[in-house]
Structure 1
Amino acid sequence: MTPIGTNELFFLMQGLKWTLALTVIGFIGGGIFGLCVALARTVDNPIGRRVTAGYIAVFQGTPLLMQLFVVYYGVALVGLDIDAWIAVAIAFTLHASAFLGEIWRGGIQAVPKGQTEAAKALGLHYVSRMKDIVLPQAFKISLPATIGFLVQLIKGTSLAAIVGFVELSRAGQIVSNQTFKPLTVFAIVGLIYFLICWPLSLWGAGVEKRLQTASR
């Protein structure tokens, strides 16, 4: 058996780097598209609401693993050759946009309607109402759920290995195969995930508690 040394630990850190990079890209890209989805879900246009409702239903009703397969192999069927990094980034962005869009839709609808009606009475147009009044409150209301989804997204990056993307879990598998010490290697991998996700979970719980206290 090969001992776990600095080279193996460095390889795990390289996998962690790509796990964090994929999380950031998926969360930011998903946040941008998710905001568009949330706004489309709350407008008066019934077509926009139905289209985005269907979009959310597809991504919430299917496994992330299947979505990765469809994006990675689906683009190849139409003649496009993309590497695993781009395919995974697209899949995670689409996945995150559906979940964040629904989370933020709930936050927007949780803002008291009286504030929107007052803004209309003052003559504020839609962009000003959303930017200055509704969205700041909606994001604050939905922050605990947003943090919770971020934690799930970090852990979900482990599925990217199925299309050949080497992130933390896949790096752990490679090191395990080289050292024949799966228990030790995956204990280290699990500890890394825990050190990332646990503080975020505590933060989300703290934010939720403060919001509950402020609403009393």
Structure 2
Amino acid sequence: MGQSFAAGYLLFLLKGALWTVGLSTIALLCGGVLALIVALCRISTQKWLRLAMAFYIQIIQGTPVLVLMFLMYFGLPAIGWSVSPLLAASVSLSVYVSAYLGESWRGAIQSVPQAQWEAAECLALSRTQRMMKVVLPQAIRIATPPTVGFMVQIIKNTSLASVVGFIELVRAGQIVNNTTFQPFLIYMLIAVLYFSMCYPLSIFSRKLEARAGEKSYA
């Protein structure tokens, strides 16, 4: 072993964990906005818009997040657009989130009982009013449990940002390991930190699903 593991190294790992949380939050917020647009386009009355969004989802879901990051960080500078590691990671993860959550939210919207759509139509509400006042509030309750569960995947996928030089938890661990040469200890700590971030979300998601199931049988 090189140097003894000092408290400063642990602090550096914790800072990396904070950047992991921050990047996950950016991806969820920006990707969530895009996902809502994708979901609404997927149920649009315009056929070309539905097909375009379906094609977009197939392309993104069929492309690894790592490839998206490479395209952003190494591809864009080749055509004159230089991007920072944070921007490359944020945009790549946001696009990834938009495709997966967009399709999930589309299913949640379409799972709202048809009677609710018809009742809103009988009230002479416009399509936008039906969506905002009747459908989306119910769809949000349906979509919340899987969305919380998907946040676990977002957190774990932030580890891929290390390949473009963004210092999140995994990259911080690599830097510390190159100094201390204690891979078992360091990567065990990284695993513990990931577990401490992901496990509460998994439990919360299960509770939300159980609660939603109880309400559906009520």
Q: TM-score range by the shorter chain?
A: over 0.9
Equivalent in the alignment of 2:91: 90
- What's the TM-score, normalizing by structure 2? 0.96
Deviation string, structure 1 residues 34-67 (Cα, Å, up to 9, x no partner): 0000000011111110111111111111111111
Q: Which runs of 5+ in 2 are unaligned?
A: none
Equivalent in the alignment of 2:39: 38
One-letter code aligned to 1:4: F
Equivalent in the alignment of 1:18: 19
**What's the offset of the Cα at 1:17?**
1.7
CA distance, structure 2, for counterparts of residue 172 and residue 72 of structure 1: 21
CA distance, structure 2, for counterparts of residue 42 and residue 169 of structure 1: 39
Superposed, 1:166-177 pairs within 5 Å as: 166-177=167-178
Equivalent in the alignment of 2:4: 3
**What's the offset of the Cα at 1:77?**
2.1
Aligned length: 216
**What's the offset of the Cα at 1:179?**
0.8
- Aligned-residue CA RMSD (Å): 0.9
Cα contact 2:72–2:83 (8 A) shared by 1: no
Superposed, 1:51-66 pairs within 5 Å as: 51-66=52-67
Q: Which runs of 5+ in 1 are unaligned?
A: none
Equivalent in the alignment of 1:115: 116
Deviation string, structure 1 residues 79-100 (Cα, Å, up to 9, x no partner): 1111111111111111111111
Q: Give me the identity figure in percent.
A: 42
CA distance, structure 2, for counterparts of residue 102 and residue 67 of structure 1: 19
CA distance, structure 2, for counterparts of residue 50 and residue 74 of structure 1: 27
One-letter code aligned to 1:46: K
- What's the TM-score, normalizing by structure 1? 0.97
The 4+ residue runs of structure 1 with deviation greater than 6 A are: none
CA distance, structure 1, for counterparts of residue 36 and residue 167 of structure 2: 30
